[in-house]
Amino acid sequence: MGKSEFGRLLNLVASEKWVLLAGIACLVVSSAITMSVPFFLGKVIDLVFNKSGLNKGALDGLQQFSLLLFGIFVLGGLANFARVYLFGNAALRIVRLLRSRLYRSMLMQEVGWFDTKGTGELINRLSNDTYMVGNSLSQNVSDGLRSLAMIAVGSGMMIYTSPQLAMVSALVVPAMAGMAIVYGRYVRRITRTELDKYAEIMKYAEERFGNVKTVKTFCREQQEVIAFDEKLNEALKIGYKETRARSIFFGLTGFSGNFIIISVLYYGGTLVLENSLTIGALTSFMLYAGYVAVSMNGLSNFYSLLNKGIGASERIWEILDRKCSIPLDVGLLPTSKPVGDVGFHGVNFSFPTRPDSFVLKDFSLNLTPGQTTAIVGRSGAGKTTIALLLLRLYDPQGGSITMDGMDLRTINPQWLRNNVGAVSQEPVLFSGTIRENILYGVNPGEDQSEELLQRVVEEANIGQFTNNLPDGLDTLVGQRGMMLSGGQKQRVAIARALIKNPTILLLDEATSALDAVSEQLVQNALDRLIKGRTVLTIAHRLSTIRNADNIAVLDGGRIVEQGTYDILMRMEEGAFRELVATQAFGSHPS
């Protein structure tokens, strides 16, 4: 175990140090009591063997020992209860703390990091890895310490009872230590590989569950099950390796323990026959040797779990240590709202997952405050990417983006996002009520009145469908808003953007057609939303494009033409004219 890893694990349990210390105190008491049994037993045997017949002295002695043992056992039971209780609850709290820190650390990362990880993998780390680490710590440490204490006391008592016999027993110690080191290293490595594999499997399953309609539409259930089974088999093979190593280790440690007992039986029997050891002492010794052997098994178990926990913790530290490239808590925090003067200056950008494929190349564009700029271009030209950069969900590799003359990289990202509203092509809602989804748009730290909420609901044409629902705004929308229609979801998303009252608005128009009534309701809501704001719209409808103050045509990663609809349409062989002619900007030419 690396020193820093061990130190970090200790740090993790530091918050529970008093509880754990109390647990250790109970552990000492319960172990001491367990370990006193062979001693008393030896005394009782010698007492019985040394007296002939049933006499009062022997009976009194027996009674006293029995009463004493009863009292001691009650105390031992209580101490054991407290030990398990304290360590068990401490384990739960440690896992909770680890999960909380990990979740925080994950959510704080920039979007580019999430692109490289699947949600299934992250969920797996959050549930499985943290559980393994917690499990390997407190309860396991409690059992491990107990085993260690029993071995220490047991060995001490073995030496006290018969130094010669103890020497014979000690022969197995170096062999066991060597085995433990080799095994520990192996388990750590294999646990990591196994967890990586399971994370990959969860990622796979999560994608299928998330898109179950597609799986069913193409009748791929059987094939999906087979593909999943194959992945499970790969993980199983890794698991087998771990089990094999564990079996060998446990087999050898068990054998070593029993080897002690055989040696003691043989050599101890000889000593009794030679009258250099009493039967009571041999019995005590045998029981101590038995305890030590059993505790060695317990210690192996502890060691195995601890190493699995260390393997799992490596994957957690990786995330906890990761510095987000777009931290939320740094940068300028202007006190007033922005004017909304946005500029892209020679921006070069590629996604982290495809670093060599530049989506934007020397891209420049200005958004005039209070005006609507429509971006048009072929599918995949990079229109949505521009919106992502303006929200600073990614940073460009070259050039800069400014808001009111300030480089986005120098502004606090939270302030920026509080002032930018976005309605995407396929708006995502969260499970909860319609009201909760609208209030999701309220900037953190700000309060919104019921009056404003009602106004926003009206402006976004939401009342039109909630009035017919028994629970109105308190109707549940289902996971990802699946219980609402496309048009209803869009209107909730518009309300969510409206309640934020952003200076800048990013609109990614839906390419999928809504029916005429829905379309009109969404359009009305949008018209109210854009009033008085700086708007960047990724336009697919010809009507939106016509109404825009400025149209920018994106091609080959840069703006190739700019102007009003009339100006662009007058350009012979212009890119815009070609787009309009081929209807290549989307599915809504009208």
Ligand X SMILES: Nc1ncnc2c1ncn2[C@@H]1O[C@H](COP(=O)(O)OP(=O)(O)OP(=O)(O)O)[C@@H](O)[C@H]1O
Least distance (Å) between residue 536 CB and ligand X: 12
Q: Which residue has the tokens 């200005």?
A: 366
What's the Cα-to-Cα distance from 395 to each of 9, 81, 111, 401, rounded to whole Å?
A: 35, 56, 10, 9
Shortest Cβ 471–ligand X spacing (Å)? 35
Task: Give per-residue burial for 162-197: e unless 16+ CB within 10 Å, then b.
Answer: beebbebbeebeeebeebbeebbebbbebbbebbeb
Question: Which of 195/381 has CB closer to ligand X?
Answer: 381
Query: What are the E-state strand segments in 451-586?
Result: 504-508, 534-538, 550-555, 558-563
* Distance of alpha carbon 106 from alpha carbon 250, whole angstroms: 38
CB of 553 to ligand X, least distance (A): 12
Tell the smallest beta-carbon distance from residue 376 to ligand X (Å).
Answer: 9
- Write 108-111 long-range contacts (CB < 8 A, 24+): 108/324, 108/327, 108/328, 109/319, 109/322, 109/324, 110/324, 110/325, 110/326, 110/393, 110/394, 111/388, 111/393, 111/394
Select 276 or 587, whichever has its Cβ closest to ligand X: 587
**At closest approach, how far in Å is the CB of 581 from ligand X?**
18
User: What is the identity of the amino acid at 60?
Assistant: D
Least gap, CB of 210 to ligand X (angstroms)? 16
CB closer to ligand X out of 356 and 451 = 356
The answer to whether 137 and 302 have CB atoms below 8 angstroms apart is no
Task: Closer to ligand X by CB, 407 or 426: give it.
Answer: 426
Closer by beta carbon to ligand X, 120 or else 382:
382
Contact between residue 80 and residue 26 where contact means Cβ atoms under 8 Å apart: yes
Q: CB 455 → ligand X: shortest distance, Å?
A: 32
User: Residue 316's closest CA among 99, 139, 4, 10?
Assistant: 99
Partners of 343 in beta bridges: 366, 402
Measured from the CB of residue 422, what is the shortest distance to ligand X in angstroms?
A: 13
Shortest gap between Cβ of 526 and ligand X (angstroms)?
18
Name the strand (E) or helix (H) holding 87. helix 56-108
By DSSP bridging, strand 372-377 and strand 550-555 are parallel
Q: Other C-beta atoms within 10 Å of 303: how many?
A: 20
152 versus 393: smaller Cβ distance to ligand X:
393
Main-chain phi, psi angles of 541, to 5 degrees: -95, 135
Taking the complex as a whole, the smallest distance from the CB of residue 356 to ligand X amounts, in Å, to: 11
Output 257 or 586, the one with its CB closest to ligand X: 586
- Residues at the interface with ligand X (CB under 6 A): 115, 351, 353-354, 359, 377, 379-385
Residue closer to ligand X by CB (options 13, 539) is 539
Compare residues 80 and 385 and give the one whose CB is closer to ligand X: 385
Q: How far apart are CA 168 and CA 160, in angstroms?
A: 14
Q: Which is nearer to ligand X, 380 or 445 (CB)?
A: 380
Q: Nearer Cβ to ligand X, position 315 or 541? A: 541
Q: Is the distance from CB of 272 to CB of 282 less than 8 angstroms?
A: yes
User: Could you give the C-alpha distances from 45 to 137, 143, 284, 291, in angstroms and in order?
Assistant: 41, 31, 9, 19
Q: Which helix (H) or strand (E) holds 197?
A: helix 173-210
- Per-residue b/e over 331-367, b at no fewer than 16 CB within 10 Å? beeeeeebebbbbbbebbbbbeeeeeebbbbebebeb
Residue 489 beta carbon to ligand X: minimum distance, rounded to whole angstroms: 18
